[in-house]
């Protein structure tokens, strides 16, 4: 069984340490997908019922904006989860984004 592209995305997302975030494009690039950042976002859409749960709240777009927050059960759930991990979120934007940014390509 070869893991699908999506499964690889989920695996990378699960590798994100607590208190850190990454971007869709960074994950895509780490997987060698290049510019298929959209696939990563689309994968998250299917990650809702995956097990173990995928910490999609730690994945934001390259601007640090919580673009996917609306897809969570509650639009505020994503921000609360991030703040709970020590990440400051204001106006749907991750503060100190560059500081909390975690590059999967470096870990992998």
Partner DNA sequence: GGCGTGACGCAAT
Partner DNA sequence: AATTGCGCCACGC
**Contacting residues toward DNA, per CB under 7 A:** 4-6, 23-26, 28, 33-42, 44-48, 56-57, 59, 61-63, 67-68, 71-72, 78
Q: Which two tokens stand for residue 76?
A: 């505020």
**Cα 27 to chain center, whole Å?**
8
Nearer to DNA, 16 or 28 (CB): 28
In the complex, least distance from residue 86 CB atom to DNA, rounded to whole angstroms:
19
Q: Which CB atom, from 41 or from 94, has the smaller least distance to DNA?
A: 41
Helical spans, DSSP H, in the chain: 5-14, 24-30, 37-46, 77-84, 97-100, 104-107
């Amino acid at each position: 069984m070869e893991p699908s592209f999506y499964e690889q995305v989920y695996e990378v997302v699960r590798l994100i340490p607590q208190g850190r975030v990454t971007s869709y494009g960074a994950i895509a690039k780490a997987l060698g997908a290049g510019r298929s950042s959209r696939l990563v976002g689309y994968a998250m859409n299917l990650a809702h019922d995956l097990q173990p749960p995928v910490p999609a709240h730690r994945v934001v777009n390259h601007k640090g904006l919580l673009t996917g927050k609306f897809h969570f059960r509650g639009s505020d759930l994503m921000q609360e989860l991030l703040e709970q991990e020590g990440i400051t979120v204001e106006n749907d934007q991750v503060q100190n984004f560059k500081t909390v940014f975690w590059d999967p390509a470096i870990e992998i």
